[in-house]
Every structure is written in C-alpha cells, then in structure tokens.
Structure 1
Amino acid sequence: MTERRLEGLVALITGAGSGIGAAVARRLVADGAAVVLADVAQEAVTAVAASLGARALAVTADASSEPDMQHAVAQAVERFGALHIGVNAAGFGISAEVLDMDLEHWNDVMRVTLGGVFVSCKTQARQMVRQGGGGVVINIASTNALQPAEGLGAYCAAKAGVAMFTRVAALELAQHGVRVVGVGPGLTQTPATRRFLESPAASEAYLANIPAGRPARAEEIASMVAYLASPEAAYITADTFYVDGGLLTRNYPTLAERRLTGYEGADFLKTLERERAAR
C-alpha cells in the first residue's frame, strides 16, 4: 500500500454506516483522505464517523433522494472545501421469485440500489465539474451484475444497471476529467451477511462455488476502491472490477441446490428487509 496516497482529497461515501461502505471510509481515511459518510441509519453512520476522528463527518441521507445528496455534497464542501471522490455503496436486495415478487418490492430495490447510484453519481459529479480539476466516482456493483441468481431478479437487474450506468456516465464525464468506475464484490463478510454465513447449509452451498474457498473481507473490497480512487488509477474509467475470489468462474447455486442442503426458501435478504421496514 502506498502510504497517504489520498492526502488532501475529499470523499463522499454512501451506505457508509456499515459493511463495505464503512470499510471504504476507514481505508480512505487511512490513506489520507477526509471523508463524509452518508447513510439512512443515523446512529450507525455517526458511530463510524466518530471512530475516524476529525477528518470524518456523518450525514444522514438517503442515496436516492436528490435533496439529501445535494445536502451531503454541500456538507463536504463546507467542511472540507471540495469533493474529489464519490463512492456509492448504498443498496439492498429482496429475495422473491418472479412469480411472487410484489411490484412495490421491485420498485424499492430499483429506487435505492440503481436509482441511488444515479442520484449520488449525478450530484457528486456536478460538484466536481463546478470546482474543476476532475475527480472519480466509484459505484459498487456486484458479481450479480453478470451472474443470475434465482430469487434475486430485482437485485441482479439493479446491479447490472449499475455496471452499465457506470459505463455511460464515464463516457459523458470524461470531457470534464471525471472518471467513473465500478467495483463488483462477490460474497463478502458484512453485518448483512453474517447470519447467512453462519448457516451451515447456506454457507456450504455458496462457498463450494468460490475457488478461493472463503468470502471476501470488506477491507479487501475497500482496497480496490482505494486504488481506483488514487492517482495510480488515473487512466482507468468505465470498467467494473470484480473482487470475488474467482466466483465468476463457477455457477451460482440454484434454489434446488440450496434447498437440498437444508436451505429454507427465502434467503437472508427477505429477513433483513423485514427488519429494515420495522425500524
């Protein structure tokens, strides 16, 4: 790792209250950046920011809300003077097969997981263009942008949209010196996946299809983000880089395979969404 390679740069990270977003915030601060952490979970994002010291600011914001993201960008500029890096990690999925999925659930996933990337990228890039000097927006996609998964139709479609939107935005923003790139994590250890990975049946079904034999650590995804945000990646734009332990070389477990190993129909994402709605 190149020490302090982001010194003097300012980043805005959505979905920064936990998981990959929080890991990215920690890594960028370690590399010298000042960071604004945005999340709908006020207590969680405030706690992460507090742990990072004076070069971190927490903002309660919905990534899919233009007023919220405009406020987050304004806070970055007011507190730290500029915005050079955007990282868009906010998103979620709901597990339901096509015949059973409610339109409301489909729209919710699209609004946050795809729409949130659009809104966040737009507001971040507008600030970068206004201030001049270029910048970089990094959108968090998923291996499910390429790999279909039964029961995750909305999530797969949204993440595929993130990867294609990244390419289009990179084309349009290149003239302004703004790079737009994607990172596609495979199965990653986060609070959202902890319960899932603790299930022997579910863990067996997935880990058998990862050549590396384990899920990623959130810090490993953050390492790719930090590299792409740095001057070392100055000639990289439009592409999405998959950090997956080789997962894309294998088949995604089918619902039938998961159920044969004791997997119970709807996966952890449906449970997480119920909990989220209850908060």
Structure 2
Amino acid sequence: MKLEGKVALVTGSSQGIGQAIAVRLAQEGADIIIDYRSHIEGAQETLSKVEAAGRKGYIVRADLGVVSEVRQLIAEGIQQFGKLDILVNNAGIEKNASFWEVTEADYDSVVNVNLKGVFFATQAIVQHLMETKRPGKIINISSVHEELPFPHFSAYCASKGGLKMMMRNLAIELGSLGITINNVAPGAIETPINTKLLNDPQKLTSLLDNIPLGRLGKPNDVASVVAFLASPDADYITGTTVVTDGGLLWNYREQ
C-alpha cells in the first residue's frame, strides 16, 4: 500500500490502459478520480473495480481537448477529495491518414488531446501543489512513437514528440518544487484501440516478429510501471521516459 492517503487523477480511465492504471493505483492505496469523455459505462466499471480494491472513486466527464473542461476536471477532483497528489495523463487519440490528406480538424483533435490537454492539466495540478506547498507526481502515458516514426500518423507522432520535450523541460522547472514528471512509453498493447490489429492474423504475426519478448503488452504491464513511478520508490526519478514495449523500439523494422 505504497500510495495510502494519496489521491490520483487518471485521465481517460474508462477503458484499456487508463482503467488498468486506475485500478492498480487503487490497489496501492490511492483514491481515484476517474475521467471519461464518452464511455460512461466503462467509467462506472472502473469505479466498481476501484471500490472493490477498498478505495474511493469519483467520476468526472471531461473532454481533454478543451482547456476549460480540463481545468474543471482538476477543480472538481480537488473539491471532492480535498487535494490531488498524482496526475496520470493517459487520455490520447490517433487518426490514420497520409500526411497530404490530414485535415485541420483531425490535426487539432489529436494535438489538443495528446499535448495541449496534457499541458494544461499539468499546469492546473502544479498550481494546486504550489498553493498547498506539497510535492507531487506527474506521469504521462506517451508512446514508443515519441521516438519511433509511424507513417500515416504524423499528427500523433508530433504530439508524442512534443510530450517528450515538455516532460524533459518541466523536470527541470518543477524539480525545486518537489514535483517529479516522467513519461511511460507503451509499445503494442492489447487494448480496444488495437481491435482491428488483433483480428488480423497476418498483421499481428508481422508485429510480433518485431517484439523480442514475442507478445503484445497487457494494460497491467503499463499500470505496473505507473504504480512504481507514483510511489516513493521513484522519488529520485524525473525527466525520463520508461519504455514499456517488450523490446519493440530497438528491434522494429518495416516489413
């Protein structure tokens, strides 16, 4: 119970990696603010799992691409629990299109959620921690594509590359406040976003050939890393990306 007495907000925690993170942090003792945009049933499922772990949960709907909703999410979570100690910026989206066909609307939707929303959610918790004179933990769920090119997903890669540099910069700026910030970069994980891949044996086999550990990751593989970074065991770690990909990044090659 390394997070007993802590309050954590996990954005995009109604399914997949976000849900696994919320449940794992609850198992470590934290109360959880559960964020969703459109999947209320999933958010309620996350709440049930958090409560089954013996912790309190609270659901807030917010579109992470809208700064006013981001700020309201943080404010409502703090109002409910009286404080916020840990922010996990998990919510993210991607759009598949050749570069020359990307629309402004699709570009904006990806960058607004994946980068701008993270920027202002982080700003809001930092302001709270400064006002209350407390340390805190910020953990961003990035992607191997903060390093690895991903053709036809240029906006997504740009958002994750920006997230890497934002994290490194803030590690320096926030260090004197006792606030750490790190990225977790998953590779190929079994989540709803990869349903088409999981149902395409040829593509799945091709991908697995690129993963030295020979399997896709599970949401809990990512959640375990987040739990470590959120805990006192990681108090001296800031400004780094923990790649969680079964070896994919350094072994990947286009087929």
The residue that corresponds to 1:228 in the other structure is 229
Q: Any unmatched runs of 5+ in structure 1?
A: 258-279
TM-score by length of 1: 0.86
- Displacement of 1:174: 1.2
In the TM superposition, 1:1-279 aligns within 5 A as 4-43=1-40, 44-53=42-51, 55-253=56-254, 257=255
Q: Is the 8 A contact 2:24 2:227 kept in 1?
A: yes
Residue identity opposite 1:240 in structure 2: T
Percent identity at matched positions? 34
SS of alignment partner, residue 3 of structure 2: coil
SS at match of 1:241: strand
C-alpha displacement of 1:78: 2.2
**Alpha-carbon distance in structure 2 between the residues aligned to 1:228 and 1:102:** 36
- Paired with 2:49 and 2:245, the residues of 1 have a C-alpha distance of 28
2:70 is paired with a residue of what secondary structure? helix
Normalising to structure 2: TM-score of the pair?
A: 0.94
The farther-off stretch of 186-195 and 216-225 is: 186-195
Q: Is the 8 A contact 2:6 2:84 kept in 1?
A: yes
Q: Which segment is superposed worse, 149-158 or 75-84?
A: 75-84
Q: Secondary structure at the match of 1:151?
A: coil
Deviation at 1:193, TM superposition (A): 1.1
Deviation at 1:101, TM superposition (A): 1.7
How far, CA to CA, are the matches of 1:200 and 1:34 in structure 2?
A: 40
State the distance in 2 between where 1:239 and 1:100 align. Answer: 34
Deviation at 1:42, TM superposition (A): 4.7
Q: Is this contact kept in 2: 1:76–1:83, CA < 8 A?
A: yes
**Distance in 1 between the 2:49 and 2:233 partners?**
28
Aligned partner letter, 2:86: I
* CA distances 1:192-214 after superposition (whole Å, capped 9, x unpaired): 11232121122122111111111
SS of equivalent residue, structure 1 residue 90: coil
2:236 and 2:200 map into 1 onto residues whose CA distance is: 42
- Aligned positions, number: 251
- Equivalent position SS for 1:216: coil
Runs of 4+ in 1 over 3 A off after TM superposition: none
Q: CA deviation at 1:247?
A: 0.5
- Distance in 2 (CA, whole Å) between partners of 1:182 and 1:246 is 17
1:25-51 deviations in Å (ceiling 9; x for gaps): 000000000010112125122332133
Contact kept in structure 1, 2:138 and 2:180, CA below 8 Å: yes
For the 8 Å contact 2:34–2:43, the answer to whether it is kept is: yes
**What stretches of structure 2 of length at least 5 have no aligned partner?**
none
